[in-house]
Structure 1
Amino acid sequence: MSETVKPSELDRNVVAALQLNGRAPWKQVARAIEANESTVARRGQQLVDSRLVGVTGVLDHLRCGLGISLMVRLRCRPGTASSVARALADLSVTRFVTVVTGSIDVVAEFVVADHRDITRVLAEELPGRDDVVETESMVVVRKFSAFEEWDTGLLGPRASALLRPEGIPSGHREWQETEQLTEQEFAIAATLAADGRATYAQIAAEVGVSESTAARRVESLVRRGCLRFRTLFEAPLIGLDVEFMQWFTVEPSELENVGVRLAAEPSTRYVSATTGRFNLCLHGVLAGYGDLYHYMTAVIGALPGVRTADMTLQARTLKRAWIHINPDGTRDPDTRNPHLTRPDPREHTT
């Protein structure tokens, strides 16, 4: 984590507020956390300028016909996990990459046009692929909760009501038909991917439309389930020091029930149903190692139909929401989402 910005209680509250609504004006954030507006604006902007915190607009790739998501678990030759993770992070098709401890060494999320593409990527495009001794791929078929829906729990219900007065669309519905985005909508999404807090005036200037048109287009993309806003930060910044991924094998008859129950857990940042040996994948976070036993026994132990639960602790995450994460926890501003230009329909299908 950066040595130049030391998180205070105010910092943690500002980050928690941005997690609830990444586009909230500083005035709204100040009201939600009951702090001085000028102080909140100054400190919040410092956190953003330091790149420890950022907001990015993300397109729902399934809704927009940009491909499907696969979670890939990789086991590597001893001593090569970090280099494999770096190589994976450099691939344009990876949205998330992390080094973990446990039964595997690296986890990556790929967004590809078709599940068959993952074989080509791993066999032909990955540098240093000889260091990978085993892979296991799972297609994400249902999201119960996504990162942008998570509530850190640092702020009370009043703050949540102020920052999410109408609620952020929850759950990722099973779309029957994809939305066809226009070139203008892709351009707006690209602007918001670079800066999810960009004002409508800034979007209008970047894309070449009126401010009112920019506002209508953004609101339409959100309403149609195409665009979401993700606040990026490393969990230790707000005092949550243990990040983990958990892989479940659940009885099919209990899969929906378990997914919904896990999505409601305060520690859950993301949970989805997948194909393969593990049919549920979860990203979670806890305050410290002392919370792990209670989590494994009281939370996981109470779930019906769970046959196996494999926990892997995240040692270092190199990429989130298409954006490279530096070793100090700051975002690399030069990374780009490859899906922010109009795709060739012959290459991207659902």
Structure 2
Amino acid sequence: MERSAKPSFDELDHRVLQALQLDGRAPFRRIAAALDVSENTVARRYRTLCTQGLRIVARTLPERLGDSRWLLRIQCAPDATTPLAEALARLPESSYVSIDSAGTQIHCGITAPDTDGNETPVLANLHRMSRVTEISAHCLLRVYEGDPPAWYTKLHPLTPEQTALAPPRDVPAPQDEDEPALLDDADRALITHLADDARATFPQLAAATGLSTATAKRHLDRLRASGLLQISTEFPPRHLGYRLMSYLWLRVDPSCLHDVGTALAGHRPISFAAATTGPYNLVATTITRSTTDLYRYLTDHVGHLPGIQYVETAPALRQIKRLA
């Protein structure tokens, strides 16, 4: 079988991708002005990136709605791994699903509504499956990196003027909010429509939701400014030459947990880092070009952070679902 040509990227492609990660809804004219190119050029590069896997989606932060996020590690029989991973990927509450390099463990992120301490339906169903041999569930306590994702912006940092594309926020970080946010019908209608296409125009949103254009804009501006709604830009890292995604499960001295999490968030290979419950109190995701790069990162950077007691590294063999 003939292998398809590998997508080629130049500096402008990287800049457009980074600008979209700063603000996935930024008009092409704003991006063009920031990058000093024409609006047509940005639109053309955007369309090409879309054919290569670019997705811009909207998602709410579960913590702002009183929900919680969990990371599941599911050990199962080899012949059951792929069917179960695909079934989990179809669930609306799952955000990502991947299979480890051994082909017997699934990593899955899910959102669980507040159930007064009762087990979530996903966990209950998994426990009843005969081909599942072990499950560990880790509740996210604080996210240091990944809300919204910022990995692409670390590759070739933009200038301070260009990073001004990022929309302003006018409230404290979502994880510092005490009371869950309340959504009205207009908010929910907008969120539903933006889930698959976060770049939908205000006239398109008005037509899809039955709201006026002005009302749609007012609600969306409020949702974004409050930090409740995040616009996430997703693009396959392999097209940029980064083919290895790995999970790092770390045990860290509690007194050093915040410092280690903050330090990891600033590292270029880190796409996600969060404090969790369970035997590992910090989990991170790395994106590297190769196992050699991963080794260098672990020895040159992670190994020098004070307070780390133990690190388990789990490369992902295949990603079934990304950024729902």
Fold match (TM-score > 0.5): yes
Aligned residue for 2:73? 73
| 1:1-350 to 2 correspondences below 5 Å | 3=4, 6-9=7-10, 10-48=12-50, 50=51, 52-65=53-66, 67-101=67-101, 105-113=105-113, 114=115, 116-118=118-120, 120-124=121-125, 129-150=129-150, 151-158=153-160, 160-164=162-166, 166=168, 172-322=174-324
Tell me the CA shift for residue 302 of structure 1.
1.2
Residues 215 and 126 of structure 1: is their aligned pair in 2 closer, same or farther, counting only changes over 3 Å? farther
| CA contact 1:251–1:306 (8 Å) conserved in 2 | yes
| CA contact 1:55–1:230 (8 Å) conserved in 2 | yes
Indicate the SS of the match to 2:301. helix
Tell me the CA shift for residue 28 of structure 1.
2.5
* Amino acid corresponding to residue 62 of structure 1 in structure 2: E
Q: Gaps (5+ residues) in structure 1?
A: 323-350
| CA contact 2:59–2:195 (8 Å) conserved in 1 | yes
Tell me the CA shift for residue 177 of structure 1.
0.3
Indicate the SS of the match to 1:163. coil
| CA contact 1:33–1:155 (8 Å) conserved in 2 | no
Indicate the SS of the match to 1:117. coil
Indicate the SS of the match to 1:58. strand
Residues 243 and 35 of structure 1: is their aligned pair in 2 closer, same or farther, counting only changes over 3 Å? farther
Indicate the SS of the match to 2:63. coil
Indicate the SS of the match to 1:246. strand
Indicate the SS of the match to 1:315. strand
Q: How many angstroms apart in 2 are the aligned matches of 1:31 and 1:137? A: 46
Aligned residues: CA RMSD = 2.6
Residues 305 and 135 of structure 1: is their aligned pair in 2 closer, same or farther, counting only changes over 3 Å? same
**TM-score, normalised with respect to structure 1:** 0.82
Tell me the CA shift for residue 191 of structure 1.
1.5
Tell me the CA shift for residue 171 of structure 1.
5.1
Tell me the CA shift for residue 306 of structure 1.
0.8
Tell me the CA shift for residue 256 of structure 1.
1.0
Residues 168 and 75 of structure 1: is their aligned pair in 2 closer, same or farther, counting only changes over 3 Å? farther
Question: Percent identity of the aligned residues?
Answer: 28
| CA contact 1:87–1:126 (8 Å) conserved in 2 | no
* 1:157-191 C-alpha deviation (Å, 9 max, x unpaired): 24642422647989542321011100110001112
| CA contact 1:98–1:315 (8 Å) conserved in 2 | yes
Q: How many angstroms apart in 1 are the aligned matches of 2:13 and 2:236? A: 13
Tell me the CA shift for residue 277 of structure 1.
0.5
Indicate the SS of the match to 1:204. helix
Tell me the CA shift for residue 109 of structure 1.
1.0
| CA contact 2:174–2:228 (8 Å) conserved in 1 | no
**TM-score, normalised with respect to structure 2:** 0.88
Residues 31 and 170 of structure 1: is their aligned pair in 2 closer, same or farther, counting only changes over 3 Å? farther
* Amino acid corresponding to residue 18 of structure 1 in structure 2: L
Q: How many angstroms apart in 1 are the aligned matches of 2:156 and 2:112? A: 36
Tell me the CA shift for residue 102 of structure 1.
6.0
Moved more, 3-12 or 75-84: 3-12
* 1:75-130 C-alpha deviation (Å, 9 max, x unpaired): 22234322221122123332211112269621001211246424x42442689x32
Tell me the CA shift for residue 137 of structure 1.
0.6
* Amino acid corresponding to residue 63 of structure 1 in structure 2: R
Q: How many angstroms apart in 2 are the aligned matches of 1:24 and 1:310? A: 39
Tell me the CA shift for residue 38 of structure 1.
1.5
Residues 168 and 238 of structure 1: is their aligned pair in 2 closer, same or farther, counting only changes over 3 Å? farther
**Runs of 4 or more off by more than 6 Å in structure 1?**
167-170
| CA contact 1:142–1:274 (8 Å) conserved in 2 | yes
Tell me the CA shift for residue 273 of structure 1.
0.8
Q: How many angstroms apart in 1 are the aligned matches of 2:52 and 2:60? A: 21
* Amino acid corresponding to residue 321 of structure 1 in structure 2: L
Q: How many angstroms apart in 1 are the aligned matches of 2:18 and 2:163? A: 13
Residues 158 and 91 of structure 1: is their aligned pair in 2 closer, same or farther, counting only changes over 3 Å? same
